[in-house]
Amino acid sequence: MARKFFVGGNWKCNGTTEEVKKIVATLNEGQVPSQDVVEVVVSPPFVFVPLVKTSLRPDFHVSAQNCWVKKGGAYTGEVSAEMLVNLDIPWVILGHSERRLILGESNEFVGDKVAYALSKGLKVIACVGETLEQRESGSTLEVVAAQTKAIAERITSWENVVLAYEPVWAIGTGKVATPAQAQEVHYELRKWFHANTSPEVAATIRIIYGGSVNGANCKELAAQPDVDGFLVGGAALKPEFIDIIKSAEVKKNA
């Protein structure tokens, strides 16, 4: 079964109302391949989610950047999965390395979050990735497998999950993984799914790459057989996001 190319724009903690309106206007004008070819999801900070949801073109979808690990209640500052469902927000990013490393979210906590969000009907962009130190010590595959395993142990279906491989050393650094580096980890992750879940999950799960993706490097990365799309940070705030979406065409011609 063909895996539909997926491009997510993670706006992180950026933007003002004016800037958000400008970005949405640019996205709305962009000529991109049809929804049969590429699935596009943009993820603004929570406060801008309603504005983006009401003003964004209908063929693009909205994602939150996080949600709470269980039912809402006395958790100051948190936003629950139930609230996202209530607002009709279909997607949420969970396990981003900035949350793992800066806010101390463990593999188990991220796994719990993914399981809870899925149980409420959300679709999840689950992030994994190694630090520079881990890569240099040769433990990349071990790290991403452990992060993926903590999710696998807590969920029964991967149908509504996109796995984002985001090497920490490539995020916001301009130091993009080479196409071969990305392909190697994506291939190994798919192999991991084959051995630890099922051949069907391995064949169908979309594994997307994130870390300094831009309009200039996206095509070569998109051409890798196990790269099924991107999770884009900095460039998702710029007009070149449209070019990144267009790199889905590379697959069509492959």
Q: Is 183 in the site for ligand 13P (CB under 6 A)?
A: no
| CA 83 distance to own-chain centroid | 20
Handedness of CA 235, 236, 238, 244 (dihedral sign): positive
How many residues of this chain interact with ligand 13P, rule: CB under 6 A? Answer: 14
Element housing 118 (H / E): helix 107-119
Contact between 10 and ligand 13P by CB under 6 A: the answer reads yes
Interface segment toward ligand 13P; rule CB under 6 A; list 52-60, 102-110, 144-152, 227-235: 227-235
> Shortest Cβ distance from residue 209 to ligand 13P (Å)?
9
How far apart CA 252 and CA 180 sit, in angstroms, is: 20
Of the candidate spans 20-28, 30-38, 191-199, 225-233, the one that interacts with ligand 13P by CB under 6 A turns out to be: 225-233
Q: Phi and psi at residue 18, in whole multiples of 5°?
A: -60, -45
Among 163, 208, 231, 248, binds ligand 13P (CB under 6 A): 231
Binding of ligand 13P by 211 (CB under 6 A): yes
Does position 226 interact with ligand 13P (CB under 6 A)? The reply is: no
Residue closer to ligand 13P by CB (options 135, 202) is: 135
Binding segment (CB under 6 A) for ligand 13P, from list 19-27, 51-59, 191-199, 204-212: 204-212
205 binds ligand 13P (CB under 6 A): no
Give the residue numbers annotated as catalytic, written as ranges. Answer: 96, 166
Single residue of 95, 234, 241, 244 touching ligand 13P by CB under 6 A: 234
φ, ψ dihedrals at 108, nearest 5°? -65, -45
Q: Name the maximum alpha-carbon separation found in the chain.
A: 51
Given a contact cutoff of 8 angstroms between Cβ atoms, the answer to whether 83 and 116 are in contact is no
Asked if residues 154 and 174 have their Cβ atoms less than 8 Å apart, the reply is no
Q: C-alpha 248: how far from its chain's center?
A: 16
State the nearest-atom distance from the C-beta of 36 to ligand 13P, in Å.
Answer: 25
Q: Does 232 bind ligand 13P (CB under 6 A)?
A: yes
**The one segment of 52-60, 110-118, 146-154, 230-238 that binds ligand 13P by CB under 6 A:** 230-238
> Contacting ligand 13P (CB under 6 A), which of 66, 107, 140, 212?
212
132 touches ligand 13P by CB under 6 A: no
- Kindly write down the DSSP assignment for every residue of 157-206, as one continuous string: --TTEEEEE--GGGTTTS-PPPHHHHHHHHHHHHHHHHHHS-HHHHHH-E
**Looking at the DSSP assignment, which residues form a beta bridge with residue 128?**
165
Site residues (CB under 6 A) for ligand 13P? 10, 96, 166, 171-172, 210-213, 231-235
